[in-house]
Amino acid sequence: MKYLCIVYAGTGGDTLSEAEGTAIKDECIEGDNALFSAGKLYMASPLQGPEAGVHLRHVNGRTTRIDGPYAETKELVAGFMVIEAADMDEAIAIAAPGPLDGLVNLEIRPLLEERHSKTGQDRSAFFVRRS
């Protein structure tokens, strides 16, 4: 089963030195590559800050665009991973360890597997592993 791991980080000022930030980034990349090689990771990435984002709201055939942060919050989505695990316990074991310990919170949710009601088509082709 596939799981989405959503990484939440606080909005307070950065308390890490540049060297600490670089070490954490490097360890995350190494860990992601190890999980990918083990067949447990489909995709992972940090996200740019909310100021680079856009919120879209589509109502009554009309799309409204709102640039930058929308809601006041103490935590923002900072990154994500899509992993493969047998169950939630394995998903937790895959996602929990790492260099972000104490710096972020994780939300892990199973992806909903759906099939088209007439064609039977699903989204499995989106998860073809590419090296």
Average pLDDT, the chain: 88
- Stated pTM of the model: 0.84
Statement: residue 3 has pLDDT above 90: yes
Model confidence band, residue 42 (pLDDT cutoffs 50, 70, 90): very high
**What confidence score (pLDDT) does residue 44 get?**
94
Residue 102 has pLDDT above 60, yes or no: yes
Name which of 1, 23, 7, 9 is nearest 88 in CA terms: 1
Q: 67 falls in which pLDDT band (50, 70, 90)?
A: confident
Average pLDDT over residues 85-98: 92
DSSP, collapsed to helix, strand or coil, labels residue 27 as: helix
Tell me the pLDDT band of 13, cut-offs 50, 70 and 90.
low
Q: Tell me the C-alpha to C-alpha distance, in Å, between residue 28 and each of 1, 13, 14, 117, 128.
A: 23, 21, 18, 40, 22
Q: Residue 15: pLDDT above 80? A: no
Strand partners, 80: 6, 45
Kindly list the structural domains of the chain, giving each domain's residue range(s) and its CATH number in brackets, ordered by start. Answer: 2-127 (3.30.70.1060)
The predicted structure's pLDDT at residue 49: 84
| Residue pair 65/54 in contact by the 8 Å Cβ criterion | yes
pLDDT of residue 96: 86
